[in-house]
Amino acid sequence: MKYELSDQEKQLLSCIDTFKQNKAADKDPQQPAIIRKKELESYLEGIAKQFRIQYQRSSTPMNSNYIFSLEKHEAQVKIYYRYRHFYTRHEVIIKPL
């Protein structure tokens, strides 16, 4: 099912992809783009604060889960890490309120 999201919600939910693209553009072409857990989470939390979006965070050494309270939706963002510190992938689940 598709949900209609506001521009602010779209920007929040796409910020991880934007962060990854910026990181890849800044890296040495001979080296892989390494994204560390702390820098990604600080960036994501900073975007949420900038947009005044409430969130809850829980984490284990291998993943972090965020639940964002959006205007008409709840977004669950799961971020997975390798070796406790390095981003590997993420998924976003959107549910209506």
Residue-wise pLDDT for 50-64, tens only, equals 989 999 999 999 999
For residue 2, being part of any structural domain is answered with no
For residue 14, being part of any structural domain is answered with yes
Of 90, 43, 39, give the one whose Cα is nearest residue 64.
Answer: 90
- d(CA 74, CA 84) in angstroms, rounded, equals 26
- Give the structural domain span for 40: 7-96
For residue 86, being part of any structural domain is answered with yes
Residue-wise pLDDT for 10-67, tens only, equals 888 889 889 988 888 887 778 777 899 999 999 999 999 998 999 999 999 999 999 9
pTM of the complete model: 0.85
- d(CA 94, CA 79) in angstroms, rounded, equals 15
- d(CA 97, CA 95) in angstroms, rounded, equals 6
For residue 28, being part of any structural domain is answered with yes
- d(CA 44, CA 50) in angstroms, rounded, equals 10
The number of distinct structural domains making up the chain is: 1
For residue 1, being part of any structural domain is answered with no
